[in-house]
Amino acid sequence: MTNQQQARRLFERSRRERFAVGAFNIDNQETLVAICRAAKAKHSPCLVEVSHGEVEAMGLANVRDMVDNYKQEYGLELYINLDHSPSVEAAKAGIEAGFEFIHIDLSLAKKDATYDEIVDATKQVVEYAQRTGALVESEPHYFGGSSNIFAEEIDYEEVKKTFSTPEGARRFVAATGIDTFAAAVGNLHGLYPVPKRLDLGLLQRIRDALDCYISLHGGSGTPLHFFEKAARIGVSKVNINSEMRKAFRLGLERELRDHPDEYAVVKLMREVEDDVQDVVEKHMDAFGSSGKAQLE
């Protein structure tokens, strides 16, 4: 069975057994180690993901090799997602690199992209993905925020203007043939001073309208009970990034303060990795994926 076939089997199980799989971004090897330790401790399947900036920093082939190496070392059910790929060409490169999951997000690079342009780009990626069987994810419009820490409040009246609708979701899936629809129901990229609120009623109506899988981007800063309910509704994937970045940054600052004479940075990393691992583990529990790993 290929990696892509195993990935499809995982999402089929997630839908049937009502758990979600975490997709956790890596900025470096340390965050990858933290994710792997969490997956091992929780016996959880998970996705490691990289977005365009992370690909530019590490390279597609290097990410593929690192993930495969740690997957074997730790004995994990582990996959790679190319997150927010900004062009058809970038998405195709991820498919060629053997990534099991591909998210094409034309609106990331072109925020004024028309609906027809997004549909056309997504269809091209769906067709190309048939070469390997990679699962393709997309959405019909720009998704707000960024993976950072914000000081301003969330203007939910403004955010609601970009919420998905059951009719719009059904239309987009039918037009593109995607495997996974990235729903917008109150989830938002980044961390804010107030917790996020998911419209679970809307999520249920979207679930009822679609046969494909559903993902939630911008999971950081969401009270965990929302994820528990979202998984039961039928969400298969949730993305977490900003909380991990915050844990890494604050942990590193603490270690530098506590060890001002240490210049071998590698000696400071274990406690930082532990901080990130804690973030990943609590989300695996909330997603219901703990104990769900299946290894051949």
Mean pLDDT of 222-241: 97
Backbone angles phi, psi at 220, to 5 degrees: -60, 140
Q: What is the pTM of this model?
A: 0.95
Query: Is the predicted pLDDT of residue 31 greater than 70, yes or no?
Result: yes
Radius of gyration of the chain from Cα atoms? 18
Candidates 134, 90, 81, 82; CA nearest to 109 is 90
Told to judge if 199 belongs to the known catalytic residues of this protein, a careful annotator would answer no
Confidence of residue 191 (pLDDT cuts 50, 70, 90): confident
Task: Read off the pLDDT of residues 115-159 as tens digits, 9 standing for 90 and up.
Answer: 999 999 999 999 999 999 999 999 998 776 666 677 677 777 878
Confidence of residue 160 (pLDDT cuts 50, 70, 90): confident
| DSSP notation for 108-144 | HH-TT--HHHHHHHHHHHHHHHTTTT-EEEE-SS---
Task: Read off the pLDDT of residues 235-292 as tens digits, 9 standing for 90 and up.
Answer: 999 999 999 999 999 999 999 999 999 999 999 999 999 999 999 999 999 999 999 9
- Which residues form the domain of 164? 3-245+277-287
Residue 265 forms part of a structural domain: no
Residue 270 forms part of a structural domain: no
When divided into structural domains, the chain yields a total of 1
Check residue 151 and give its pLDDT. 67
Check residue 68 and give its pLDDT. 98
Residue 161 forms part of a structural domain: yes
Mean pLDDT of 91-109: 95
Confidence of residue 192 (pLDDT cuts 50, 70, 90): confident
Residue 39 forms part of a structural domain: yes
CATH of residue 194: 3.20.20.70
- CB-based burial label for 11 (10 Å; 0-12, 13-18, 19+): buried
Check residue 147 and give its pLDDT. 64
Q: Apex CA 287: angle with CA 284 and CA 292, to 5°? A: 70
Check residue 74 and give its pLDDT. 97
Instruction: Give the three-state DSSP class for 217.
Output: coil
User: Of residues 27, 83, 105, 275, which has the active-site annotation?
Assistant: 83
| DSSP notation for 33-86 | HHHHHHHHHHT--EEEEE-HHHHHHH-HHHHHHHHHHHHHHHT--EEEEEEEE-
Check residue 108 and give its pLDDT. 80
Residue 250 forms part of a structural domain: no
Check residue 146 and give its pLDDT. 61
